[in-house]
Amino acid sequence: MNSLGYEDSVKYVVAITGASGCMYGIRLLQELPGERILVISKMAEKIIPQETGYSVEDVRRMADVVYEDDDLFASIASGSYRFDAMFVAPCSTSSLAKISNGLADTLITRAAAVALKESRKLVLVVRETPKSAIVLENELRLARCGVCILDANPGFYSKPQTVDDIIDFIVGRCLDQLGIEHRLYKKWE
């Protein structure tokens, strides 16, 4: 049982957008308990094979349910469909801007709007640096609404040795947001 109080019925949405860092979303799919619902943006479909050793089909097979980003009739587009939390990992600054400004023109941005309006946990793994004032203002607006802005900035106190260790640190921090136990990195003592 996690901090949400659910066991087998827990449902997580994992959205992978067109920013560098698709491995964050992929590792979340590998680590999340319960039902994993996946949406991949068109740009992310191009980035996945460029950055990882996975094909888009490999990633889709990691999920329990997969929707296309243009499917606004998908269950997760409705507030009456219950999912417990949503991760956008990585979250492009374009997706961040749309979510921050209430633009719900894709399934990813619509599901994020649902998470916001239904007061569900929403974690955005923003993967951009440096950040303009516009990006920072979008992040601040969402943080004030209770969204977790979890930049892809690893800690080094666990002495990472590989790129996988760095990815696991960020994914572990995502899991920490929901109280999900893991051993992806050594916690500060």
DSSP state of 175: H
Q: How many C-beta atoms lie closer than 10 Å to residue 35's C-beta? A: 16
Number of domains into which the chain is organized: 1
Averaged pLDDT for residues 143-163: 95
- Answer yes or no: is 171 within a domain: yes
- Answer yes or no: is 80 within a domain: yes
- Answer yes or no: is 4 within a domain: no
Question: pLDDT digits over 82-109, tens only?
Answer: 999 999 999 999 999 999 999 999 999 9
Can you give the pLDDT at residue 8? 54
Give the confidence band of 186 by pLDDT, cuts at 50, 70, 90: confident
| pLDDT of 7 above 60 | no
Q: State the residue range of the domain holding 80.
A: 11-176
Can you give the pLDDT at residue 9? 86
- Answer yes or no: is 108 within a domain: yes
Averaged pLDDT for residues 57-79: 98
* Whether the model pTM is above 0.85: yes
Can you give the pLDDT at residue 52? 96
- Answer yes or no: is 100 within a domain: yes
- Answer yes or no: is 71 within a domain: yes
CATH number for 118: 3.40.50.1950
